[in-house]
Amino acid sequence: MAMIRPKIKIARDSDSKVIQEILQANQMLAEGLDWSRIYPSWILAEWKDEIVGCIQVLVGYPTGMLPLWAVLPKYKNSGIGIYLLWAAEEILRQAGCDGFLGITDSGRILKKLERLGGVKIGQFSLIMKRIYKEERDGQRNKDTNSAAATA
């Protein structure tokens, strides 16, 4: 596929559904979470009036974090992912981060990592743990993914 230069923009809360769809298409969606408040933690890649990729950008010190990063499967290997990475890096640079940690299984990114100025620091499993919070009616949100929810 030819290299595509997408339009990059900050996601709004109203973009949460398309982010979920992109993550789901990549088997990366954590079900049952409240996706209503995503601004300003996500950026989007748009190509021909379609949102085709997303990356979550979390500012931290000394390192920021890029925990979720995905492109629609039909646009993989088109360069969209790297444009998202460059945009995320610029946001973190402007925020004063010294570096960032990110997660990828993209062979193309891993092959280019050193040229991009990065290093692979180990083998990891991406973990996700739901945090319980109180609902407005005083009831805790439900965890449908664990045995503890039935206890």
Query: What is the per-residue pLDDT across 64-73, written as a single tens digit (0 to 9) for each?
Result: 999 999 999 9
Instruction: Report in angstroms the alpha-carbon separations of 48 from 6, 7, 45.
Output: 8, 9, 10
Average pLDDT over residues 117-140: 73
**Across 1-5, 29-33, 39-43, least confident range:** 1-5
- Rounded Cα distance between 24 and 34, Å, is 15
Average pLDDT over residues 123-127: 74
* pLDDT band with cut points at 50, 70 and 90 for residue 142: low
Q: Give the model confidence (pLDDT) of 3-30 as tens digits.
A: 889 999 999 999 999 999 999 999 999 8
Q: For residue 72, what is the DSSP state?
A: -
Instruction: Report in angstroms the alpha-carbon separations of 25 from 63, 77, 134.
Output: 28, 15, 30
What was the pLDDT predicted at 112?
A: 81
What was the pLDDT predicted at 4?
A: 85
8 Å CB contact between 81 and 1: no
**How many C-beta atoms lie closer than 10 Å to residue 140's C-beta?**
9
Q: Which residue has the tokens 């890649």?
A: 45
**pLDDT at residue 147 greater than cutoff 50:** no
Quote the mean pLDDT of the chain: 86
